[in-house]
A and B are shown apart, each in its own frame.
Chain A
Amino acid sequence: MIVLSDTVGSEPFWQRVVAAANVDDDFRQRGAHLRELAFGFEVGGRRIGLCIERGSLALVEPDAPAFVVAGPADEWARLVAGEKPYGAAINVVHGQLRVSGDALAATWANRPLWQLFRLTRHLVASGDSHD
């Protein structure tokens, strides 16, 4: 399944991801330890703001993220489609995404983010990722 690189940078796509995460027991459990952890995804030139509060995910203004995951849209497309694992996408050798900001916060968010990208893979595979 191909996900277009402009889709992955769009707010409607991430609204669907947020909705999927909030009904997913695994995501809620893996993010339950987080308290108002705001972070950003920079997809190409577009910034998406997200926040996890006790396992619940929300879209927020991307103005004060603890950390940002940033990189080219085509690498994001591979990540959300499940063609590349989160660990590979942010790996210094194998990936084109980079995590900046508070490394501790980013580490705390590891498990919910891994689960989030499992959910995006399902969304893309189901064809529910497009407008």
Chain B
Amino acid sequence: MTEIVGRYVDVDGVRTYYESAGSGKPILLMHTAGRENRQWQGVMQRLAPEFHCVAPDLPGHGKSWPLAGNVCLSDIESIQAWLWRFAQTLGLERPAVMGCSIGGNLALLLGARHPEVRAVIALQGAAHTPTFTDGALEMMTHPQVNLMHANLDFSMSLVGSAASDEARAFSEWGVLSIIPVAQQGDLRAYAHCDSRALLENVRCPVLIARGTEDWLVSQDMVEAARDGLTQAPRVELRALSGLGHFPHLEDAELVAGMAGEFLREIG
């Protein structure tokens, strides 16, 4: 089994935890809202024989320190800018960017903002996702709300029927171990994300894939993103049958195979 190594690096004064594996062309992997990089271990192990996989924990997530004042990033542009500085700090040269949910939105945005991006792989990726109200977001850090309790059914309803038992268990653990301020910051960024006007700036190949049983990110949302990518040299939209909101976690083998094939084809 490929060894995954955890390290720390300083990014904008934030002691940032990341995991990496393999060698070759780099892939920057971005976790979903409020979660952390362990989501990607199954995919990393399968891609590591060919690619250099790097998965950070965003500030305040997992084992990364928060920003000064114990806060997290909470707007999509700040998060993409931070991720790009992370990639630069590590010296990742022309990375492919791959993420899921908010990570998928970020992959598209990174592709729009940075022409050095080699390719975009956006799982459940969209450009406009106003799916949470400000009132709902406020509740996440209310002193009388246990977010782990209140959000468990919501989060688990997003997991597809084809997910492995192991993936389902880890997804549940992701909720039970959540950091409310991190979840709130990410979902605030997600709910206010509107990068539709920027999609035409993406000039690299793009693969969008959607778990068909995800009720939060609809087919309409991913199709709208695809249709906005008017200048990308290659755009694919794939349906992942039986999977939900977390395809990389629910079926790491399928996602790694799909990503590897796409990245090999674009060279």
Interface residues of A (CB under 8 A from B): 84-88, 91-94, 103-104, 107-108, 110-111, 114-115
**From B132, B142, B151, contact of A92 by CB (8 A):** B132
Interchain CB contact under 8 A, A93 and B130: yes
Q: Tell me if A94 and B215 are in contact (CB < 8 A).
A: yes
* Contact between chains at A87 and B144 (CB < 8 Å): no
B153 engages A114 (CB within 8 Å): yes
Residues in A whose Cβ lies below 8 Å from that of B142: 104, 107
Q: Which B residues lie within 8 Å of A88 (CB)?
A: 157, 215-216
Q: Mark B107-151, 1 if CB is under 8 A from A, else 0.
A: 000000000000000000000001111011011001011000111
The complex places the Cα of A108 from the Cα of B150 at a distance, in Å, of: 7
10 pairs of residues in contact across A and B, judged by CB atoms under 8 Å: A87-B153, A87-B157, A87-B216, A92-B130, A93-B131, A94-B131, A103-B139, A108-B150, A110-B149, A111-B149
User: With an 8 A cutoff between CB atoms, is B235 at the interface?
Assistant: no
Contact for B133 among A92, A104, A111, A114, CB less than 8 A: A92
- Nearest to A92 among chain B residues (CB) is B133
- A85 CB to closest chain B CB (Å) equals 5
B218 within 8 A of A: yes
CB-based contact B157/A85 at 8 Å:
yes
Query: For residue B150, which residues in chain A have a CB less than 8 angstroms away from its CB?
Result: 107-108, 110-111
A104 touches B135 (CB 8 A): no
Distance, CA A109 to CA B153, complexed state (A): 12
Asked whether B152 is an interface residue with its Cβ less than 8 Å from the other chain, the reply is yes
Point out residues on B near A: beta carbons under 8 Å. 130-133, 135-136, 138-139, 142, 144-145, 149-154, 157, 215-216, 218
B131 touches A111 (CB 8 A): no
Cβ contacts under 8 Å, A114 to chain B: 153-154, 157
CB distance from B233 to the nearest CB of A (A): 31
Are B145 and A107 interface neighbours, CB within 8 A? yes
Give the top 8 A-B pairs by smallest Cβ distance, nearest first. A114-B153, A88-B215, A87-B154, A85-B157, A110-B150, A107-B139, A93-B131, A107-B150
In Å, the complex CA distance between A115 and B152 comes to 11
Distance (whole angstroms) from the CB of B34 to the closest CB of chain A: 16
Compute how far the CA of A115 lies from the CA of B142 in the bound complex, rounded to whole angstroms. Answer: 23
Cα A49 to Cα B132 in complex, Å, equals 27
CA gap between A85 and B131 in the complex, in Å: 15
Contact status A104-B144, CB under 8 Å? yes
Interchain CA distance A104-B131 in the complex, whole Å: 19
Q: How far is the CB of A29 from chain B (nearest CB, A)?
A: 11
Instruction: List chain A residues, Cβ under 8 A from B130.
Output: 92-93
Chain B neighbourhood of A86, CB < 8 A: 153, 157
For A86, A93, A108, A115, the residue with the greatest tally of chain B CB atoms inside 10 Å of its CB is A93
Q: With A85-B215, A92-B133, A103-B135 in contact, is A111–B152 under 8 Å at CB?
A: yes
* Chain B residues within 8 Å of A107, by CB: 139, 142, 145, 150
The contact of B154 among A94, A110, A115, by CB within 8 Å, is: A110
A22 smallest CB distance to B (angstroms): 20
A114–B139 alpha-carbon span in the complex (Å): 18
Task: Determine the chain B residues whose CB is within 8 A of the CB of A84 once the complex forms.
Answer: 215
Which of A85, A94, A110 is B218 in contact with, Cβ under 8 Å?
Answer: A94
Distance to closest chain A CB from B24 (angstroms): 39
Which single residue of chain B is at the shortest CB-CB distance from A115? B153
CB distance from B218 to the nearest CB of A (A): 7
Which residue of chain B lies nearest to A84 when distances are taken between CB atoms in the complex? B215
A88 to B150, CA, bound (A): 15
B153 & A110 in contact (Cβ 8 Å cutoff): yes
How far, in whole Å, are A107 and B135 apart by their CA atoms in the complex? 11
CB nearest to B218 among chain A residues: A94
With contacts A88-B157, A111-B152, A114-B153 known, what are 4 further pairs, Cβ within 8 A?
A86-B153, A91-B131, A94-B215, A114-B154
